[in-house]
Structure 1
């Protein structure tokens, strides 16, 4: 898919599933930048980022070159504080194979939900310089889109209740759901909600054909 898109000058933000060396290489080759979330599927990288930010924490996050940005948001009565940290990528062999990498970072989130406090730390790598405010805005935009998409996929497509489990079937079915959602979101032939468009397309093949034809003309 990356090869089909004109990415020049863009910033590609991807979740941990797509944190792969080949993906980073293709994005940089397309003259674009990336921000990739790092989790357990990249075990050595994730462990090293954890070690580094524990070391920075022991220094009260005052390491040379480490930048910090804090945001606080209140939504539906819940307050969430996010601390963003970014620093130039260390000169270590572990990072050398990641094409174009310039910075590493951590987001520490604390959310108060009534009397319960939730906290989580996530890590990322990027081909962008360690300008923490700029990085935080890109990451936040990614989460806004992802949260909105996940809500629609769960409510309209019942993704969380899917019983598809075997082999690569969950990934394939998820890709088809997202493709269908993208087509319905771009459609202008039917004036209805995503749920309504989906139902009408299932009931009437002429509606389905019109939606699909409109998408092909985009």
Structure 2
């Protein structure tokens, strides 16, 4: 059963994988797996982006002192510029508010935007944009957590007050800042999204046939300006 090419409208045979006129892939259009097939790289990439967003509400930074947790800061807390420090000796919790972390906000927006356009535009065309967005978000998050934010959280936690000044000083010196589960989950999910979008791009290129050049028929004119036919 013949069909038409979705790209140029030319007739395509039922066994043809590529359009004989323009070279566009037509077999993928007729027999493509359903959107609900979770094994497709495009859907796996989207799932990875959703997992990365879930990681934003889990702890990214853990502040502890002598084995006692003083604070846990999530990715969302970093984006909003907030942190709550708990004093294990007095039981008092102190909220700290600051300016939103611009780098984390940008990373969050890029992940959400990339996920949104993957549902509204051709996935192969948006794969490169998503690769750039996820890679940029991954670099921003890693820098802010591993380099920049650690010193900021340490300085906030070191303001914890206890009655004895000597104990206060020892607490400030014993404060340790570590990375939480949510941070590693987000980073691994973004790396997975990059990997699957690379597969999407590779699959999109392999589905393209070499360009087919249509030969223009030569028409001889018998008008006044043409050569007379041989006798």
Normalising by structure 2, we get a TM-score of 0.22
Q: More relative contact order in 1 or in 2 (CA 8 Å, sep 6+)? A: 2
Give the TM-score normalised by the residue count of structure 1: 0.23
Q: Which has the higher strand share?
A: 1
